[in-house]
Structure 1
């Protein structure tokens, strides 16, 4: 196993590991440490012959969980989803929005125990466009002024399925899905249990209200924090290769997809999310 940094901000490239094989405890510990230490880990050259094989490989980094929405699940699967640039893909069996994920977010922050990590497996990769971009939320928090840290430490934010100020619309839910996730108060600054470090915990799609602030104060504060986070110095943009398995820490990063894919090409990936824990409020 060889590990190389992807850039100065975050991310590690892992080679010499085959996630289709049985891994010993030492190797499993090493790949999990690489993920935790670097926030984003890319396992190059993977070749899963089925969604079940990908699901088994994902299990080396955590416990796969079912997504909130079932719209994108592969046939016969409870945890493995498809992400595609095609408006209609017969392998998924229905219409799939092309602009999914094109805003900064962290996955499923509107539930009590959001996934600790998300894994993507690159099957069809376009020659350009379709990068996945990340923000290091440890670094973004560390770079705040002490006055701002004092102001936001210990505060909570109400995360809902779709915030009133969300920059894009989310997928349509059933009544049962709406009732199962009415919203939850989450820390504005979150303590990562694996590292003990503080990270900003933001999601422009979900954040409705900051505890103790008016609507205008909430809007102004969240805009200031998001504008701070999206500075290039905190970012890493992943250029996909066929066979990449990318896993990232949802507790301490933001991510978004990028457009620019040639319509004559396609981007097709499989996704699995890993069980997380209730976010810990940082004081």
Structure 2
């Protein structure tokens, strides 16, 4: 084991790594330990990191091919694979995405090859009176699947569902008012629906994981509209039961990584300006779900 500590949370997901600096070159041995911890715990935070966008991108590439976000306006211009997430407005212009993470979701599930993992680095954390706000909550999709009844597992086995960026865009625009409502013609610049299994197999661990989310899953394509609405509602409620959850309380310099097959996540919007939150993010392309 390399000279750093891995400390599991004790729950179904989550661990922290102490004593590792990924701004410097990471040996293959050290990276193998980090990658093993990632797949074992699904959500891993490496504490106390000071990273430029280029350094974050360089470490992220160790996991695979970075993905360019479909929203070019939230990209970090000189390092396009890095995007910004914040609540900051400067000179009347929003910096990064102000409404990311409003719903439970898996990153880029609306693409044919969704994100394998996401890396999110805390540059500014909203703190008042020593308390950090803006937790990110995670739900284990493997634990959620395992807890289903045998009858429900049998019912959803082999089903597929449409995951839609266009659906999410106007849903979020109507509900929160941060982004504009777009016409069908305007939405055509964004990817068409991706059809994925309702239950997917993790490509590394082999675990069965639920793969529908309230943010992007529009419908099951194998049943009537009423049947689809009923089963999706049941699954959306099931996956966020307390037994499956982990809440990450942010510290400045946290580099949080999560497995987008094994977990879903949702941001907590319990802070407002003048409290500031600024994160830089990179997502890594995964494989076609099966």
TM score, norm. by length of structure 2:
0.89
2:107 equivalent to 1:107: yes
2:253 & 2:173 partners in 1: Cα distance? 31
* Partner in structure 2 of residue 237 of structure 1: 247
Task: Give the whole-Å Cα distance in 2 for the aligned partners of 1:166 and 1:207.
Answer: 13
Greater mean deviation of Cα atoms: 150-159 or 164-173: 164-173
Q: Secondary structure at the match of 1:265?
A: coil
Q: Distance in 2 between matches of 1:164 and 1:259?
A: 18
Q: For the Cα contact (< 8 Å) 1:69–1:177, is it kept in 2?
A: no
Aligned to 2:70: 68
Residues of 2 paired with 1:278 and 1:143: CA distance? 25
For 1:160 and 1:30, the matched residues in 2 are separated by: 35
Matches of 2:170 and 2:13 in 1, distance apart?
Answer: 27
Unpaired stretches in structure 2, ≥5 consecutive residues = none
Aligned length: 277
Which 5+ residue runs of structure 1 have no aligned equivalent? Answer: none
Query: CA-atom RMSD, angstroms?
Result: 2.3
Residue in 1 that maps onto 2:163:
159
For the structure 1 residues 59 and 268, does the alpha-carbon distance in structure 2 shift closer, same or farther, using more than 3 Å as the test?
same
- SS of the residue corresponding to residue 81 of structure 2 reads coil
SS at match of 1:151: helix
Q: SS state of the match for residue 79, structure 1?
A: strand
Greater share of residues in helix: 2
Using a 3 Å threshold, how does the CA distance of structure 1 residues 202 and 216 change in structure 2: closer, same or farther?
same
Specify whether residues 71 and 7 from structure 1 end up closer, same or farther in structure 2 by C-alpha distance, changes over 3 A only: farther
Q: 2:288, 2:173 → 1: CA distance?
A: 26
Supply the distance in 1 between the matched residues of 2:222 and 2:67 (Cα, whole angstroms). 33
Q: Quick one: which of 11, 24, 29 aligns to 2:27?
A: 24
Q: Note the 1:171-250 alignment, pairs <5 A.
A: 178-179=188-189, 181-250=191-260
Residues 253-283 of structure 1 show CA distances to partners (whole Å, capped at 9, x for unaligned) of 1101101114221011100001111001xxx
Helix, strand or coil for the counterpart of 1:168?
A: helix
- C-alpha distance in structure 1 between counterparts of 2:97 and 2:189, whole Å: 24
Q: Aligned equivalents of 2:219 and 2:16: distance in 1?
A: 38
Deviation at 1:207, TM superposition (A): 1.6
